[in-house]
Amino acid sequence: MVLQETILCATAPQPSGSGQGAFVLHDLQAGTTLATFRQTSSAPHCSAFIETANGQGGIMIGAQVDKSVLNVYNFQRDQIALKIILPEKLSCLALDQSANYCAGGTSQGRIYLWEVASGILYNAWDAHYRQVNVLKFTADGVMLISGSEDSGVSVWSISKLVDHELQNELPLPQFTLSDHTLPVTDVFCGVGPFPKCRVLTSSLDHTVKLWDLATQSLMTTFHFPRPVCCVVWDVSERMFFAGSPDGSVHQVNLFRERDHKYGGKVIEAIGGAGTADLVRVDDPESVAKTRLITVDQPVTALSISITASLLLVGTATGLIHIYDIASHQLLRSISAHKGMSVTLLATMLKPPDLVGHISLSLNVASSAEAKDVIPVKPVAPFQRMRDPKAREAHEVTMMLPVQDKTPYNNGVEYDYPDTEFQNDYAFFVRPAEQENSGLSSSARVAELEEEAQQLREQLSRAKGVNDAMWETVVQKLLSQGKHKELIGEKPDVEYVPLSAEASGSDRSRKRVRK
């Protein structure tokens, strides 16, 4: 199977237009359409997807612009797989990389958190004072980052949001990133697990800010000549691109060359000095001034190819432009979505279970057989209200790994005979029985009888020692009593012998005088 890079885009009608948008998959090299998933219209930041991976089919979800409905698709069908009724219309949503959780933000500043496989609403809370514009999970899914119209960026701990013991408490952010002065428009999480990853945030205040989550501090501020609506970061974090509604896309390198004092050139990092570190992209002396791409249409989405060699620019007029990053040359434009607005743009490998291409990639005769090969990620209808009973009766959904059917031993599968299995089981699982298997039952009985005889002899000796101690104490007390009678004192204790019928022995009994 040849790996083929594709473009996944989501479209929606323009504000003055009509019709319905779609999820569309294009070939990156030729620009041809591979598949179209219709009947969905999502605003920017209101679409999300996961790829087909680890033997599980990927999904695409889109919150509708005009109603509180979430459409769910998979790559094996070109029709809606599930329609989910939401508590209210969403202004943004996000999936973690494993599609375990889905987060949705609203125009009232509220955030919902669902488990995708069960549909359980784990939490719903007022996170911001104004509309939530963007939600993003960190690469490891440990944290959820939200950007709002109130210019704030909050970082939320998923483990605390799903903790059953904290359900009656108002969730508080792990920390906040507050340095923007106008609404936040986009958030991009860098590579690596939390807190070792870094984050880019863009805003209408003409800035893009670079944050270090480990220290919860601002590293650098980049100032642009226009408001920034979207950002994208290459996987090596060497540079990022910032798009503006006026059609300009700036490339900002996070490194620069300078002359070494001993001659030659050296490369050093840009920024990192904190809140006082300001890089002006519109500065005539800035290197970034020469890295400007003019698109001539409002930019709505950005993406970088898997190889980090191509830049994809989606526009409000439905065009997708593909640029070479090294030369900024326009290689091709995809014009299949004229009259629409591109709201999502991403690159991915061609799904092996893609509708219409399944038999070519999986060597199966029909799409029904393909579904047996690659099951789709389970998605359940989302709850609209929190239900403690559903949480208590929650069943964990998991997928068993695909059995490896690769033949062994030069094409011949290894045969494990039953006798060999039983021997191995007896040796590894029942070693105690293995050790005692040579001892006969009669020898074991004789060993136990000998041990019992030894215990009886030890008990008899212990009784003899006890009787001797008792007689010694009694004789001593009797001699003390006789001595006191001779000198005219009354003894404190009178010892009276017990009758044979009462005591069964010749032992004496003591009686205390009152």
More confident call, 286 vs 72: 72
Handedness of CA 381, 386, 387, 388 (dihedral sign): positive
Q: Is the pLDDT of residue 487 over 90?
A: no
Q: How confident is the model at residue 429 (pLDDT cuts 50, 70, 90)?
A: low
Confidence of residue 505 (pLDDT cuts 50, 70, 90): very low
Residue 349: per-residue pLDDT: 94
The answer to the question of residue 401 being in a domain is no
* Average pLDDT value for residue range 372-380: 83
The model's pLDDT over 167-184, given as tens digits with 9 standing for 90+, comes to 889 999 999 999 999 999
How many domains in the chain? 1
Average pLDDT of every residue of the chain: 85
Flag whether 221 is in a domain.
yes
- Round to whole Å and give the CA distance between 458 and 124: 73
Indicate whether 298 belongs to any domain.
Answer: yes
Residue 113 domain-assigned (yes or no) = yes
The answer as to whether 350 is a domain residue is yes
Q: pLDDT value at position 439? A: 52
Higher pLDDT, 111 or 356: 111
Q: What pLDDT, on the 0 to 100 scale, is given for residue 491?
A: 58
The domain of 11 spans 5-357+375-393
Answer yes or no: is 219 within a domain.
yes
Give the DSSP letter string of 370-438: HHHHSPBPP--PPPSS--HHHHHT------PPPP-----TTT-PPP--HHHHHHHHHHHT-HHHHHHTT
Contact between 314 and 320 (Cβ < 8 Å): yes
Instruction: Decide the pairing of beta strands 217-223 and 278-280.
Output: parallel
Band of pLDDT at residue 1, cut at 50, 70 and 90: low
In a domain, 166, yes or no: yes
pTM of the model: 0.75
Instruction: Give the side-chain half-sphere CA count within 13 A for 164.
Output: 9
| Amino acid code (one letter) for 411 | G
pLDDT, average across residues 386-412:
68
CATH number at 321 reads: 2.130.10.10
Give domain status of residue 458, yes or no.
Answer: no
